[in-house]
Structure 1
Amino acid sequence: MQQAIAILVFDIDGVIRDVSNSYRRALADTVEAFTNGHFRPSQAEIDQLKAEGLWNNDWEASQELIYRYYKRQGSERLQLDVSYEKVVDFFQRRYRGAILDDPDRWDGYITQEPLLVDAAHLLELKANAIPWGFFSGATRGSATYVLQRRLGLHDPILIAMEDAPGKPDPTGLLQTVAQIEARFGLSNLLPVVYVGDTVADMQTVTAAKAVAGDRPWIGVGVLPPHAQSPADYAAAYTDKLHTAGAVRVVNTVRELTPPSVAKLLDSHGHLG
Structure 2
Amino acid sequence: MKAIAIFDIDGVIRDVGNSYRRAIADTVEHFTNHAYRPTLQDIDSLKSEGIWNNDWEASQELIYRYFERRPPTSSAVSESLSRNQIDLNYDDLIAFFQSRYRGPDPDNPTGYICSERLLCEPSYFQQLTQTNIGWGFFSGAMRDEALYVLTGKLGLVSPVLVAMEDAPGKPDPSGLLMAVEQLNPDNSIPVVYVGDTVADMYTVQRASQQQPERSWMGVGILPPHVQLNSERSQAYRQTLKAAGAMMVLPSVEQFAAPVIEQVATAS
Q: With structure 1 as the length reference, what TM-score do the two structures score?
A: 0.93
SS in 2 for 1:238: helix
Q: Which residue of 1 aligns with 2:14?
A: 17
Residue equivalent to 2:195:
196
Q: Does 2:49 match 1:52? A: yes
Structure 1: which 5+ residue stretches go unaligned? none
What does residue 77 of structure 1 align with? 83
Give SS of 1:221's match: strand
> Distance between the aligned counterparts of 2:142 and 2:148, measured in 1?
10
| Match in the other structure for 2:253 | 254
Q: 2:109: which partner in 1?
A: 106
Q: Which consecutive aligned stretches of 4+ in structure 1 deviate over 6 angstroms post-superposition?
A: none
* In 1, Cα distance between equivalents of 2:174 and 2:264: 23
Residues 21-66 of structure 1, C-alpha deviations (whole Å, 9 max, x = no match): 0000001000000011110000000000000011000000001000
Shift of 1:118: 1.1
Q: Give the CA deviation at 1:141.
A: 1.1
Q: Could you report, residue by residue, the CA deviation over 1:186-242 in whole angstroms, capped at 9, with x for unpaired residues?
A: 633200000000000000000000000101000000000011131111111000100
Quick one: which amino acid aligns to residue 91 of structure 2?
A: E
Q: Distance in 2 between matches of 1:144 and 1:206?
A: 27
Aligned match of 2:120 = 117
Give the distance between the partners of 1:90 and 1:164, measured in 2 at CA. Answer: 24
2:157 and 2:261 mapped to 1: Cα distance? 26
Alignment of 1:163-242 (within 5 A): 163-181=166-184, 187-242=186-241
Q: 1:241 corresponds to which letter in structure 2?
A: L
Return the alpha-carbon distance in structure 2 between the equivalents of residues 228 and 126 of structure 1.
29
| Code of the aligned partner of 2:27 | T
How far off its partner does 1:86 sit?
A: 0.6
- Percent identity of paired positions between Structure 1 and Structure 2: 53
CA distance in 2, matches of 1:122, 1:227: 25
Q: CA deviation at 1:265?
A: 2.4
In structure 1, the partner of 2:73 is none
Separation in 2, partners of 1:34, 1:207: 34
Offset of residue 5 of structure 1 = 0.9
